[in-house]
Structure 1
């Protein structure tokens, strides 16, 4: 008789997602086993299509669950919930082989209430889940959590007209490009349009993976409900049969629905997830680039990152105007340039100006020529740093297309957590990024092994997904503790790991 295994996890979306490696290891050890997951009804769709899960039971009360469990004739029960409710299921199920994961609930309560640390708290939940397999002699070599674990819909026709909705920040737009590449490769006969903000259109125009760029002027023509309806009608006239929505806003999902797009793929954590036809689990454990790639999975495409996934922008040659501007700043083709971007959308994401100035002076003494870059809003900050350091100041003088071209000249890029950080990483320039209000764990760090993030370990970080206008604690230690020495050491390490130009 083959193994019939019931896995119980009656908790939140994140906890259910973290069970993914458990199913993979069970299937690897017992290829013929049948695995069933017992989860809350609202999370049942998350596991449907997972290659390691054969059946999903939605928990609708103890009596109903026990009736279905007994009918399933399970041989093994793996309790990854470890509460009174799951204890009752174990006791009343009659399943002979059982294993329970160690929740370490007491250690967590002692830490929260009294600050008492315990080594058990340093272990990730995935590691504790996999330890429970040892009782049955199941090895657990596969521990990585991958968005590729969630399956595709086999019943859907191949789309011909696709629109990707990305109307968020510059960094979000850049991190959508690998998804566009994956969609274009997996849907070779389809036309691919992108809906974006006017100020980010340059990210997508001229791109080999994009056939059309559409503009959503959310602060102008398409503002408010009337504007939303106006842009929805424009999209509807194009008869798209698939919308892929990496932007997790209600407006984006509502727009695709109002436009009559029959298939709408987005994240389960989207504010408009109830309007989606395909919901892909969203994990904070993955980089945003990899999270976006997971949106290709319901279309039958591979969603795991390729070996060279971090390179997806090829810097163009310098135009006449940009070459003239560099010559005015006494920057020649033989100079070793370092791009320095001191700006960010939120003040709590900006490293201190005087420290940027000192870093520029050190770079100059080391034989590099620091070049300050940024948009018009960064111009006063750039002028201040240039006066204090002697760095060449191009802030407010270049377009996004110019910045892409400059990446071909930079040996290094020093920045805050910002859109240009992702542009540099995508172009293969070694990046050193100072992180303050935000953290790597949010999934927006520079993608690739050659890059460095410099940050201070503080319990108050992160103070928000995008940062804040002022430090909520009033001390701004997250940036004040990032010293010039720390960033300078990271620069030297990044230059050693990357390819100097």
Structure 2
């Protein structure tokens, strides 16, 4: 038996399982190994993810572990916003008493544990900070822990053993071929995402542009992905490529125009993906694409890839805010946060990233 943490025995008579995991794309990817473990431990049960419409779009046809997605209502600390979201009253009226087991993979439990308990499930498991209401079986939430392992430690409370340590979403060879044909790729396809929710985790557009220019000069195609918030950075990358090469012919900009359900296929078609510590980089890992990630060193503990044959991590070791000097290693809900948002990761150079991109391309097996 392989188990992370102390764990517990499997519950009897479980036919309906709910897993609470809202948040962004990366949050969902971190939860997927725990979800797969629960699905394997309770093969006769129906597993419902309590998440966002984005989760439903991404998982449709790409994971056998999740049977249904129920959209979360807007509740502080569980989901901050969402046009057209169900009301809390409607959500709990429909779902109360349905589940035999409810699993909390959503943070430290201050808000998510009371939310989970309102479902009226027979059994509950999850994490808890010192000021959170505890569930039937629980483990202490400590900030510095890899999110995948945290989720697996929670799943172990319900008797679930790991199936995988990496998130996994299916992308077919036909999908990959269609994307490469769409872009006219004849050599390598390099994907990029020049964004992150926290501006302190963002590598500068000029650094991304330097990598794009080098790979375009080598004969590769480059595709830039992201949402509307990534438009300013992408425009700077495009302008730099135009200035350096006189053309953006093989630079494919799908920022803000690619439907979310198509993002896995685009990332899956890439030979390597370059990104910040952000959702698309975590998704690229899940669809089997090699990645080069630019990370603040503290985030590597919680979010870094676990192997180095397929995934490379370049770290910035900033310990104090470059503007005011406050200690930035103390993180989490109770940590002091200054108002400054400089990049913590721009010490990483394009040359470092390019060296890892080239090595991953050189050592990759033939498709």
TM-score normalised according to structure 1 size: 0.61
Take 2:351 and 2:338, find their aligned partners in 1: how far apart are those partners? 23
* Pairing 1:189–2:49 present: no
SS at match of 1:407: helix
- Superposed displacement of residue 147, structure 1: 6.5
Of residues 323, 347, 351, the one that matches 1:481 is 347
Of residues 351, 354, 359, the one that matches 2:211 is 359
Conserved? CA contact 2:32–2:167, under 8 Å: no
Of residues 178, 183, 203, the one that matches 2:58 is 203
SS at match of 2:316: coil
Conserved? CA contact 1:205–1:213, under 8 Å: no
* Pairing 1:375–2:230 present: no
Of residues 397, 400, 404, the one that matches 2:264 is 404
Unaligned 5+ segments in structure 1 are: 1-50, 52-145
Conserved? CA contact 2:199–2:342, under 8 Å: no
Conserved? CA contact 1:376–1:395, under 8 Å: yes
- Quick one: structure 1 residues 434 and 178, their matched pair in 2 at CA, closer, same or farther if it must change by over 3 Å? same
Take 1:221 and 1:395, find their aligned partners in 2: how far apart are those partners? 22
Of residues 154, 167, 173, the one that matches 2:28 is 173
Unaligned 5+ segments in structure 2 are: 75-80, 242-247, 321-327
Of residues 372, 381, 384, the one that matches 2:236 is 384
Conserved? CA contact 1:198–1:215, under 8 Å: yes
- Superposed displacement of residue 446, structure 1: 2.6
Give the number of the structure with larger relative contact order, counting CA–CA contacts within 8 Å between residues 6 or more apart. 2
SS at match of 2:358: helix
Over the residues paired in the alignment, what is the CA RMSD in angstroms? Answer: 3.2
Conserved? CA contact 1:315–1:406, under 8 Å: no
Take 2:22 and 2:167, find their aligned partners in 1: how far apart are those partners? 22
Of residues 178, 191, 198, the one that matches 1:346 is 198
Of residues 240, 247, 261, the one that matches 2:121 is 261
Deviation above 6 Å: which 4+ runs of structure 1?
none
Take 1:479 and 1:353, find their aligned partners in 2: how far apart are those partners? 12
Partner of 2:157: 298
- Quick one: structure 1 residues 151 and 435, their matched pair in 2 at CA, closer, same or farther if it must change by over 3 Å? closer
Give the greater-gyration-radius structure (CA): 1
- Listed one character per residue, the Cα deviations across residues 389-412 of structure 1 (whole Å, up to 9, x for unaligned) are 132211112122211011231110
- Greater fraction helix: 1
Partner of 1:24: none
Take 1:485 and 1:194, find their aligned partners in 2: how far apart are those partners? 41
Partner of 2:104: 245
Take 1:270 and 1:497, find their aligned partners in 2: how far apart are those partners? 46
- Listed one character per residue, the Cα deviations across residues 266-315 of structure 1 (whole Å, up to 9, x for unaligned) are 0133864x241110344556421122112221222224x64xx3261221
